[in-house]
Amino acid sequence: MSADLFEFLCRMGDNTLILGHRVSEWCGHSPVLEEDIALANTALDLIGQTQLWLGLAGEVEGQGRSADDLAFLRDAWDFRNVLLVELPNGDFGQTLMRQFLFDAWQELMLGALKESSDARVAEIAEKASKEVAYHVERSGDTVIGLGDGTEESHQRMQAALDYLYPYVGEMFESDAVDAAMAKAGIAPDPASLRDAYDARLAQVMAEATLSIPDDRFAHAGGRTGRMHTEHLGHILSTMQWLQRAYPGATW
Amino acid sequence: MQPRVDEIWDWLDQVPDPEIPVISLVDLGIIRDVEWQGDTLQVTVTPTYSGCPATSVINFEIEKALRDHGIEKLELKRQLSPAWTTDWLTEKGREKLEDYGIAPPSPTKGPERCPHCGGTHLERISEFGSTPCKAQWRCKDCLEPFDYFKCI
């Protein structure tokens, strides 16, 4: 059980870690100051949630690894994030589309985790879901604003959705780890969240005048660790550089 | 002799929030418990936002303040649940925020009035502000922008 729980917690923590890092890449580059601040705030929340998830993962594993050890000293094949969060930022619209696709899933997942049979998981979910409520409100509003905006913004948002949609399905895949979590009442079977997610997506995309692709093909392999995209290694080389070059460095 | 718990609460009420120094850590509602466990003082603190960078500074400030008052054995405990809510801001803290130019949180999902002129014609600029706990708003009466302490 503890191996499955460790795996589950890494999936949660790696999602927020990698997306938090990706979003932080915008710092100082956003189209307007308010958006720069909003993205930095979102990244900060995600990194904060990472500390909680990976901190608990280290505790459950019981080998003395801290959240920092897990974040900075594992290599690409040990990461368990979904592929969606490691994809490049693209333009501002693509970043916000990715954010919405993730936020809408995270909101449902955390909502279910608040009822987890594991009190430690439930209290992290309780904390994080308050933050995510703000994330999804903003990313959803922005998707609508840009989708139903100018001809160019609409076109870019449709292109972003077409590019990112094949990465949505992985968030709802279930494997033996998920079955063990569901059986123990720790976490829901991700597949059980799909209907509510689809309803939310349909509502927001309709308002944004965007068309959801028909094809349900899903790229996968990130959350099981079978295969990441080529982008993850590049993220890690930036993110982990300092600890790799100067092991144990602190300030 | 051990200082009384209410005395320690008073000391903590003198420690300013590092980001919004006009209110104290007690005003912010993040000190959840102060209690003697034998000869060790245990202070329970809850984070505002999980990624708030002020959290580690806050712990440092608590420790420093209590050590300055002669507390030697001190343990800071992190408590996640129940999650921090802006309902825990003290009335005194809310007034100080408004005097300082930050609209206090309001359950109506937006500030009640402009902290500068008291105007009620307001618009939201951004859901996110200079710190994770604030949003940016503007008053259409006096045309000044201001921070709003978000409800959470």
Sheet holding B74-78, edge to edge: B31-37, B40-45, B74-78
Whether residue A47 lies within 8 A of chain B, CB to CB, comes out as: yes
Of the listed ranges A30-44, A81-95, A112-126, A230-244, the one predicted with least confidence:
A30-44
- pLDDT class for B56, splitting at 50, 70, 90? confident
Average pLDDT (B96-122) is 93
Closest chain A CA to residue B82? A123
Best B19, B45, B109, B127 member to test A by mutation, with max A CBs in 10 Å, is B127
* pLDDT for the residue A1: 66
Closest alpha carbon to A83 in A132, A145, A150, A22: A22
Q: Among residues 49-68 of chain B, which lie with CB inside 8 Å of chain A?
A: 49-53
| Mean pLDDT, range A81-110, rounded to an integer | 98
Give, as one character, the DSSP assignment of residue A171: G
Query: For chain A, which residues make up each domain, given as ranges?
Result: 2-245
Phi, psi of B137 (to 5 degrees): -130, 170
Structure-derived torsion over alpha carbons of residues B17, B20, B26, B27, reported in degrees to the nearest 10: 180
ipTM, 2 decimals?
A: 0.86
Q: Which two tokens stand for residue B62?
A: 């608590």
Helices A92-113, A119-147: inter-axial angle, 10-degree rounding = 150
- Kindly report the average pLDDT of chain A as a whole number: 96
Topology of domain B5-84, CATH: GMP Synthetase; Chain A, domain 3 (3.30.300)
Chain A CA closest to residue B50 = A48
pLDDT beyond 70 at B13: yes
Residues A157-212: pLDDT tens digits?
Answer: 999 999 999 999 999 999 999 999 999 999 999 999 999 999 999 999 999 999 99
pLDDT > 80? residue B15: yes
- Residue B150 touches partner A, C-beta closer than 8 Å: yes
The answer on pLDDT for B108 being more than 90 is: no
- Report phi then psi at B69, rounded to 5: -90, 10
Q: Where are the domains of chain B?
A: 5-84, 89-149
User: Cβ separation of B50 and A37 shorter than 8 Å?
Assistant: no
CATH code assigned to A2-245: 1.20.1260.10
A 176-235: CB under 8 A from B: none
Position A62 pLDDT exceeds 90: yes
Q: Is A21 on the interface with B (CB under 8 A)?
A: no
Short-list A64, A47, A42, A50, CA closest to A10: A50
Which of A114, A130, A135, A251 is the best substitution to test chain B (most B C-beta atoms within 10 A)?
A: A130
Closest CB to B51: pick one of A38, A45, A119.
A45
Identify which has the larger pLDDT, A27 or B51.
Answer: A27
Q: Is B110 helix (H, G, I), strand (E, B) or coil?
A: coil
Nearest to B17 by CA among B149, B112, B114, B115: B149
DSSP state string for A122-190: HHHHHHHHHHHHHHHHHHHHHHHHHHTS-HHHHHHHHHHHHHHGGGTGGGG---HHHHHHHHTTSS--G
**A131 to chain B: nearest residue by CA?**
B49
Give the separation between CA A133 and CA B76, rounded to whole angstroms: 29
Taking CA atoms, what residue in B is nearest to A114?
A: B81
What pLDDT digit, counting tens, does each position of A6-21 carry?
Answer: 999 999 999 999 999 9
CA–CA distances in Å: residue B125 to residues A34, A104, A170, B129: 8, 23, 35, 9
pLDDT surpassing 70 at residue B16 = yes
Average the pLDDT over A65-94 and give the result. 97
